[in-house]
Each structure stands twice: as C-alpha cells, then as structure tokens.
Structure 1
Amino acid sequence: MTEIETQSPTKENTDHPQHKKQESVWMVLGTTFITIFLAEIGDKTQLSTLLMSAESHAPWVVFLGSAVALITTSLLGVLLGGFIASKLSPKTVEKSAGVILLLISLMLVWDVIQG
C-alpha cells in the first residue's frame, strides 16, 4: 500500500463542503420533523382527524385526506416562506414574526379577560 492509502482520515479529508451540506440537510429535516411532530400532538387537527375516523369507519380514507391537507398547507407555508425570505432580510422576518405573535398573544389575553 502507498502512504496515501494507509493514512487515517484527518479533519482535512472529512470536512468536504458536500459532507457539511448533507449534514445540514439532515439537521434541518430532523429539526423540522421534531418541531412539527411535537406541535401537532394533541392539537385540534389531530383531534378532528380522530373524530372523523371514528365516525366514518374509514380510517384509511380519513388518513389520506388529512395527510394531503397537511402536505398542502405545509407546501403553502414553505412557498410563502421562500417568497418572504427572497424579499425581506432574515432579521426583518424574525422581528415581524415576533411582533405578530406578541399581538396574537395580547388579543388572546384580552379575549380571556373580556370573556
């Protein structure tokens, strides 16, 4: 064997841009899956799906319908997010999202106080 074949992998040999890109794709995929999965557990969509499945006695049809609906709403969110990201800076998007969530929170608190 030559000297190159017997060398153990070094940091230089393993830190290729493609390796980093693959790693970041898996990181984004995993983070997205965990975030959405945890956010969806026990929400009104899941409860509605559960009730529709029980009432219709066609769980696979309900599963298919709810899966297509979730995929469609996710697609809309991704497309809208991509459009917004192309027009605004990440800092502006982050601040705007914070302000919108703050306003929604204040409206919910106001609704509870009034109710």
Structure 2
Amino acid sequence: MSNLTAVMSSSSDEAAVIDLESALPPTSPAVSLRAPSLWGIFASTFLTVFMAELGDKTQLATLLMSAESQAPWVVFAGAGSALVVTSCLGVLLGQWLAKWLSPRVLERAAGISLLAIALWLTWDVVRLSGGLN
C-alpha cells in the first residue's frame, strides 16, 4: 500500500481504505512537490543578479569611479552598500506584495513592466535616430 491513504466511514459502521495516490493523475518524474532548498534559492538569486549586473551601467560607473578616485576599496564599499540597500528594498517590497498578490500575478506584472520599458526605450531610440520624422 502507498504512503497516501485515507480512511472513510460509510453509512454502516464499516471503514473503507482508499489509496489517494491512485486517485491522483500521474506526474512526470521531473516534477517535485518539495519546496526548493535555501541553497537553491540562494544560488538562483546569486546567479540571476550576478548575470544581470555584469556589464551594466552601474558596473561601468563603479569602474570609472574607482579609476578616478584612486580609492578602489572605498568605491567598493559604497557600491556594495548601495546594492545591499536596493536589494533589501526589493526584498521587502516583494514580501509585502506577496501578501496581497499571487506569484503568478507578480510574474505577469513584472513581465508587462519590463515589456513596457523595452517598448518605451525602443520608441525613444527610433524617435531620436530620426526614424519617425
């Protein structure tokens, strides 16, 4: 007998045992019902932020500040502190929004926001390049 069973009582005093796993639709072996581990969450967050920040304007600005100031560790401390504070704001805002909205709604809102920003930037580039006179 499997792990998921239920005992149901009928109108008579007999009890019936039902195998719940056989009542559920089959799932693929790749689907896991376990929550992701803390290390998995950490690793995916680290990689996502790390890849997003590589070569962006913030990294270029810190590169220039470090070269101009001749105080790379002070620039590192300032840039690192700024990233920690902005990340903290993002986490707190995300936690607050998660209380009111489902993850699916948050994902769609983020996707729509990023799409709107991309369209706005594309429109700006086309307009400034003289494409739409």
Once the 2 structures are TM-superposed, how far is the Cα of residue 78 of structure 1 from its aligned partner? 0.4
In terms of Rg, which structure is larger? Answer: 2
Residues 1:61 and 2:74 aligned together: yes
Q: Which secondary structure state, in structure 2, belongs to the residue aligned with residue 34 of structure 1?
A: helix
Q: How many residues align?
A: 95
Alignment match of 1:114 (pick from 127, 130, 133): 127
Counterpart Cα distance in 1 of 2:111 and 2:56 = 22
Alignment match of 1:28 (pick from 17, 23, 41): 41
Counterpart Cα distance in 2 of 1:47 and 1:105 = 21
What's the C-alpha RMSD, in Å, of the aligned pairs?
A: 1.4
Match of 2:100 in 1: 87
Residues 1:73 and 2:86 aligned together: yes
Once the 2 structures are TM-superposed, how far is the Cα of residue 109 of structure 1 from its aligned partner? 1.4
- 4+ residue stretches of structure 1 with deviation over 2 A? none
Residues 1:43 and 2:61 aligned together: no
Q: Which amino acid aligns with 1:51?
A: L
Alignment match of 1:100 (pick from 113, 125, 128): 113
- Structure 1 unaligned blocks of 5 or more: 1-19
Counterpart Cα distance in 1 of 2:93 and 2:122 = 28
Q: Percent identity?
A: 57
Relative to its length, the structure with more strand (as a share) is 2
Instruction: Report the TM-score, using the length of structure 2 for normalisation.
Output: 0.67
Deviations 1:35-71 (A, max 9, x none): 1111111111111111111111111111111110110
- Structure 2 unaligned blocks of 5 or more: 1-33, 129-133
Instruction: Report the TM-score, using the length of structure 1 for normalisation.
Output: 0.77
